């Protein structure tokens, strides 16, 4: 998932647990509940009321210190909310599975390590296919940092997904040779194919032709949005029946990809939370390709890594521009 996608719906509170629409539903159902009061800040450490939440977190002070009995009272109150959220997530998951399907009539052909493969071939003898729309365009030297973080979670899951009749594959528009070079560098084993010669990325609204952006808008995340970059990310699910027919069952884009970022589930329960304190208050503040931590550099809003000693080593195809310039 690219930082750009996250930035389109950034957290209102940096480091807060993100549950999307579920959180809103939960808030309506449960209503506001009194939170344990915190210790007053000493006057010399008082926080400016106008300060942003990230600025406040940078001046983090201890929560209220209480007895074990009082802590259990507060924890049990929170547990009631967590259980309600779990039940809501179960119901939402059931609604996802109950969505109507669309039969895929067009034959998409990809370039893979073993030659040409159709969308039906990617299932690899299973009936369910999870596709990562990996943000990696032609001419890029490496893929999106956010997408790389997402697929880093997959390596240990592959054997378990396959036991549940699910095949995982990534699809990018970069030519296969560029994909293979980056995949080898990162040490990934999952299936990754190129859609360079097909309409797949365009039909699933993660890549955009010049004519698509003529009016400055593109169809992304099921609505018209301002154009920012030619490649975006997402995740799609397909089903193949016994007759070999393929159906599109689900897609998610933007912050929907957070569902597959397990690291956030860990960070969200720690005292500092996501600790994304700037400049953009999303994963681009800290995430790097897993072989780049400690190397300096930065990540642009487009998800491209920029080395400390270079202006833009990632992508020779197009100069990198800020969101305000796009």
Determine the average pLDDT of the residues in 169-180. Answer: 98
Q: Residues 254-282: pLDDT tens digits?
A: 999 999 999 999 999 999 999 998 888 98
Who has greater pLDDT, 104 or 316?
A: 104
Instruction: Give the chain's mean pLDDT.
Output: 83
Give the residue-averaged pLDDT of 200-218.
Answer: 94
The yes-or-no verdict on residue 55 having pLDDT over 50 is yes
- What integer pLDDT is reported at residue 305 of this predicted model? 86
Average pLDDT over residues 139-166: 96
pLDDT band with cut points at 50, 70 and 90 for residue 17: very low
Write down the pLDDT at residue 325.
Answer: 30
CB-neighbour burial class of residue 151 (10 A; exposed 0-12, middle 13-18, buried 19+): buried
**Which of the residue ranges 118-132, 235-249, 282-296 would you say has the lowest mean pLDDT?**
282-296
| pLDDT tens sequence across 59-90 | 666 899 999 999 999 999 999 999 999 999 99
pLDDT computed for residue 300 by the predictor: 86
Q: Is 217 exposed, middle or buried (0-12, 13-18, 19+ CB in 10 A)?
A: middle
Backbone angles phi, psi at 242, to 5 degrees: -65, -25
| Confidence check: pLDDT of 38 > 50 | no
| pLDDT confidence band for 308 (50 / 70 / 90) | confident
Task: Name which of 37, 36, 35, 60 is nearest 47 in CA terms.
Answer: 60
Integer Cα distance of 112 and 90 in angstroms: 36
63 vs 311 pLDDT, higher one: 63
Cis status of the peptide bond prior to 108, with omega within 30 of 0: no
pLDDT tier for residue 302 given thresholds of 50, 70 and 90: confident
What six digits make up the tokens of 235?
């995740």
Assign 312 a pLDDT band (cuts: 50, 70, 90): very low
Position 301 scores a pLDDT of 78
């Amino acid at each position: 998932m690219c930082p750009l996608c996250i930035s389109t719906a950034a957290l209102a509170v940096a480091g807060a647990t993100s549950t999307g629409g579920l959180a809103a539903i939960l808030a309506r159902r449960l209503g506001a509940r009194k939170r344990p009061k915190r210790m007053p800040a000493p006057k010399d450490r008082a926080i400016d009321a106008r300060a942003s939440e990230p600025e406040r977190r940078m001046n983090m002070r201890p929560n209220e210190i209480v007895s074990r009995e009082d802590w259990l009272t507060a924890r049990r109150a929170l547990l009631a909310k967590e259980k309600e959220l779990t039940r809501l997530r179960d119901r939402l998951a059931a609604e996802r599975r109950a969505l109507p399907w669309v039969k895929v009539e067009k034959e998409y052909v990809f370039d893979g390590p073993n030659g040409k493969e159709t969308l039906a071939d990617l299932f690899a003898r299973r009936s369910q296919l999870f596709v990562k729309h990996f943000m990696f365009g032609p001419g890029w030297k490496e893929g999106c940092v956010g997408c790389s973080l997402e697929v880093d979670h997959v390596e240990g899951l592959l054997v378990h997904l396959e036991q549940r009749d699910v095949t995982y594959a990534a699809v990018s528009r970069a030519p296969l040779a560029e994909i293979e070079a980056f995949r080898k560098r990162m040490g990934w084993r999952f299936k990754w194919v190129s859609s360079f010669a097909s309409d797949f990325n365009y039909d699933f609204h993660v890549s955009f032709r010049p004519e698509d952006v003529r009016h400055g808008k593109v169809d992304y995340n099921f609505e018209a949005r301002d154009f920012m970059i030619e490649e975006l990310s997402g995740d799609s699910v397909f089903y193949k029946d016994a007759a070999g027919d393929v159906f599109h069952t689900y897609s998610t884009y933007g912050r929907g990809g957070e569902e597959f970022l397990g690291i956030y589930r860990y960070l969200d329960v720690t005292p500092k939370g996501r600790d994304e304190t700037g400049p953009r208050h999303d994963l681009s503040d800290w995430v790097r390709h897993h072989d780049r931590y400690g190397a300096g550099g930065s990540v642009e809003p487009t998800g491209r890594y920029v080395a400390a000693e270079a202006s833009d080593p990632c992508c020779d195809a197009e100069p990198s521009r800020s969101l305000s310039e796009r």
